[in-house]
């Protein structure tokens, strides 16, 4: 029996595993980098062990240090969570060789499915030969053999772009996974990403715990998932179960795993098998009433699964909250999470709490919010409503996008596919600011103060304040009167530092206000209070290329230096942050006049990376 368990991971999944351990009476051990010293997963564990450094390669990817930490803390088992070393067969062997229980499949099963090319061969499939790709094969997908989470993937629609895509994918795969092997497969557009949750023991029992639809994705990373996958014909569902069981038995699998497919033209196309717990496992838990982490632990202890698997009930939908700006290329965001409160009635899996700092080193996911209900319609409505009422004060997030996605007709009618955001991102990220939010912020700030320290029986001009929201400036005016604050077009019913009530055309509206420095949150609207006079020091020369996100410079184009002639759209610099790689390209034809960016340099958002002086017309 396992008594003490170390989670070889961080954040949300570590906290989620610790919760089950507490229910089972198992003591817990956290590991943490220097950047995570005060993180929630470190705070909630019974014991914590420091891994010196901040970068994943120095900490959460150091299997040798993690095994030492487990032994030093008196753990007798290791759970890898997902990501990092969760699908690393050598790490699994190292854990077992140290006399510890590995909460996962046998190393041989991980190895068999670790390479997507070998997994396809195991299922009787074969990738395309990159040298033989013809225009008739397009579009194709270049994919990292050892990858996941959208890393090392490139869609190619033009044959001339294939060599560059292969080079970029290899470089990203080598950086992310230590393995630059890539392969090419047909890219099935407008298909649905459907997967089957499996659970197997060492006694020959395999459960296929339903389907999940994970079609709503950005950068090949899932955003919204649900169970069961809606609208699948019964025959196709049975085929998915049969293929998933076949893959599971082919490698003598034990524990929880997921077999992924792309469903297109009424057929199931095998993608891969993930030999670990998936991020989206809570929707399966909700529908089947099981705790998959508890089952993983029981299987690892040698217990047999019941012959009859549990029955499904209702529908569950999960949304991933990210600290990112979908309107700016999904750019990761950093900063202090001042407040994070989710309404009752939904499940929250998170690794963050009020006051935590969202840094540059790790994935930008803040939390998963899950709704379960008797029907899909009820579950979707419940989740959208909960997200809309969630208080999120701090970095920009994808919360508004999630709410709009859940209420989009294609999603509510279950007509979505993997091209959903390609088609609708612009409309889903159109700014929709509350027109009265800036006024409410100004009135809350002005409460109890007047221009002259008190009302005077002398007419005076209105007070003016400026706020920025989603790149747009808003100017509002208000007045101090004998009866209090006033503004044109509305009746100010109440004005206090944290609550403003306005009456517009006979309808009263409440605005809750929170302020953190120059950042102001009015209900779900985030504003930045602007100074009366702009600071000239913040202005940059024309042609300046600024970091769109905080991150690390991982590549600079070969041969690039001051004086180099560049062409519009030419890739110059590659930034990596929170598991995402972003290319900085030349905005115009011109000459590179400054290049402060250097490989390995960490930069904040808005930092100057390069300056391109445009070619002057003759």
Which residues are catalytic, by number?
276
Ordered DSSP codes for 546-569: E-SSSEEEEEE-TT--TT-EE-TT
Number of helices (H), then strands (E), belonging to the chain: the values are 15, 38
Question: What are the backbone angles phi and psi of residue 90, rounded to the nearest 5°?
Answer: -65, -40
Sort residue 25 into left (φ over 0), alpha (ψ -120 to 50) or beta: left
Q: E strands along 148-233, which residues?
A: 153-156, 182-186, 192-200, 206-218, 221-227
For tokens 């809570």, the residue is 282
Q: Is 146 in contact with 177 (CB distance < 8 Å)? A: yes
For residues 551 and 361, give the distance between their C-alpha atoms in angstroms, rounded to a whole number: 8
Q: Is 416 in contact with 216 (CB distance < 8 Å)? A: yes
Quick one: which of 614, 551, 528 has its CA closest to 329?
551
Quick one: which of 220, 214, 170 has its CA closest to 193?
214
Quick one: which of 439, 450, 448 has its CA closest to 496?
448
For residues 258 and 279, give the distance between their C-alpha atoms in angstroms, rounded to a whole number: 11
CA distances in angstroms from 215 to 9, 140, 219, 232, 450, listed in the order given: 26, 18, 12, 13, 54
Q: Where are the alpha helices (DSSP H) in 429-498?
A: 437-446
> Reading across the β-sheet that carries 544-546, which strands appear in turn?
544-546, 608-614, 590-594, 565-566
Q: Is 109 in contact with 153 (CB distance < 8 Å)? A: no
For residues 354 and 451, give the distance between their C-alpha atoms in angstroms, rounded to a whole number: 35
CA distances in angstroms from 612 to 589, 602, 606, listed in the order given: 8, 21, 16
- The DSSP element (H or E) to which 18 belongs, if any, is helix 11-24
Q: Is 189 in contact with 165 (CB distance < 8 Å)? A: no
For residues 307 and 567, give the distance between their C-alpha atoms in angstroms, rounded to a whole number: 64
Q: Is 331 in contact with 396 (CB distance < 8 Å)? A: no
Question: What are the backbone angles phi and psi of residue 263, rounded to the nearest 5°?
Answer: -100, 120
CA distances in angstroms from 460 to 141, 184, 194, 482, listed in the order given: 66, 71, 65, 12
For tokens 């030999």, the residue is 275
- Reduced to 3 states (helix: H, G, I; strand: E, B; else coil), residue 483 is coil
């Amino acid at each position: 029996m396992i008594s003490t368990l170390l989670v070889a991971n961080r954040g949300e999944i570590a906290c989620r595993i610790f919760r089950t351990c507490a229910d089972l009476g198992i003591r817990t051990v956290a590991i943490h980098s220097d950047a995570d010293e005060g993180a929630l997963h470190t705070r909630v564990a019974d014991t914590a062990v420091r891994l010196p450094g901040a970068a994943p390669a120095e900490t959460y990817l150091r299997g040798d240090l993690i095994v030492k930490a487990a032994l030093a803390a008196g753990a007798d088992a290791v759970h890898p969570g997902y990501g990092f070393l969760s699908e690393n067969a050598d790490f699994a062997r190292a854990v077992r060789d140290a006399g510890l229980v590995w909460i996962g499949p046998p190393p041989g099963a991980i190895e068999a499915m670790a390479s997507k090319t070998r997994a396809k061969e195991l299922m009787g499939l074969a990738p395309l030969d990159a040298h033989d790709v013809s225009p008739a094969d397009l579009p194709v997908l270049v994919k990292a053999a050892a990858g996941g989470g959208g890393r090392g993937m490139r869609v190619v629609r033009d044959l001339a772009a294939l060599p560059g895509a292969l080079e970029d994918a290899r470089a990203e795969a080598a950086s992310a996974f230590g393995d630059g092997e890539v392969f090419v497969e047909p890219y099935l557009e407008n298909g649905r990403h459907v997967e089957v949750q499996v659970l197997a023991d060492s006694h020959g029992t395999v459960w296929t715990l339903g389907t999940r639809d994970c079609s709503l994705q950005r950068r090949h990373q899932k955003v919204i998932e649900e169970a069961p996958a809606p609208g699948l014909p019964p025959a196709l569902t049975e085929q998915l179960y049969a293929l998933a069981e076949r893959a599971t038995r082919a490698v003598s699998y034990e524990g929880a795993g997921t077999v992924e497919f792309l469903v297109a033209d009424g057929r199931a196309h095998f993608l891969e098998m993930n030999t670990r717990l998936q991020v989206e496992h809570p929707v399966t838990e909700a529908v089947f009433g099981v705790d998959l982490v508890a089952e993983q632990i029981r299987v690892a202890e040698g217990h047999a699964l019941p012959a009859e698997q549990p029955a499904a009930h209702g529908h569950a939908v999960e949304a991933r909250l990210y600290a990112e700006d979908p309107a700016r290329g999904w750019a990761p965001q950093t900063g202090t999470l001042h407040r994070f409160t989710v309404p009752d009635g939904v499940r929250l899996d998170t690794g963050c709490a009020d006051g935590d700092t969202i840094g540059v080193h790790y994935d930008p996911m803040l939390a998963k919010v899950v709704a379960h209900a008797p029907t899909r319609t009820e579950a979707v409505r419940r989740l959208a409503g909960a997200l809309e009422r969630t208080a999120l004060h701090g970095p920009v997030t994808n919360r508004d996008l999630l709410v709009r996605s859940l209420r989009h007709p294609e999603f509510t009618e279950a007509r979505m596919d993997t091209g959903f955001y390609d088609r609708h991102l612009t409309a889903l990220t159109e700014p929709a600011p509350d027109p009265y939010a800036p006024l409410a912020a100004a009135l809350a700030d002005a409460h109890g103060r007047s221009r002259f320290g008190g009302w005077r029986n002398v007419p005076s001009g209105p007070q003016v304040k400026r706020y920025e929201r989603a790149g747009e400036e808003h100017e509002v005016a208000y007045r101090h009167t004998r009866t209090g604050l006033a503004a044109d077009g509305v009746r100010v019913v109440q004005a206090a530092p944290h609550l403003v009530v306005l009456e517009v055309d006979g309808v009263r509206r409440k605005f809750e206000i929170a302020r953190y420095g120059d950042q102001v949150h009015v209900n779900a609207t985030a504003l930045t209070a602007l100074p009366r006079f702009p600071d000239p020091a913040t202005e940059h020369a024309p042609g300046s290329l600024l970091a769109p996100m905080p991150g690390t410079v991982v590549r600079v184009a070969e041969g690039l230096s001051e004086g180099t002639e560049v062409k519009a759209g030419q890739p110059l610099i590659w930034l990596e942050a929170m598991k995402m790689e972003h290319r900085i390209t030349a905005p115009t034809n011109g000459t590179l006049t400054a290049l402060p960016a250097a490989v390995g340099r960490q930069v904040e958002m808005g930092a100057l990376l390069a300056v391109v002086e445009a070619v002057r017309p003759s």
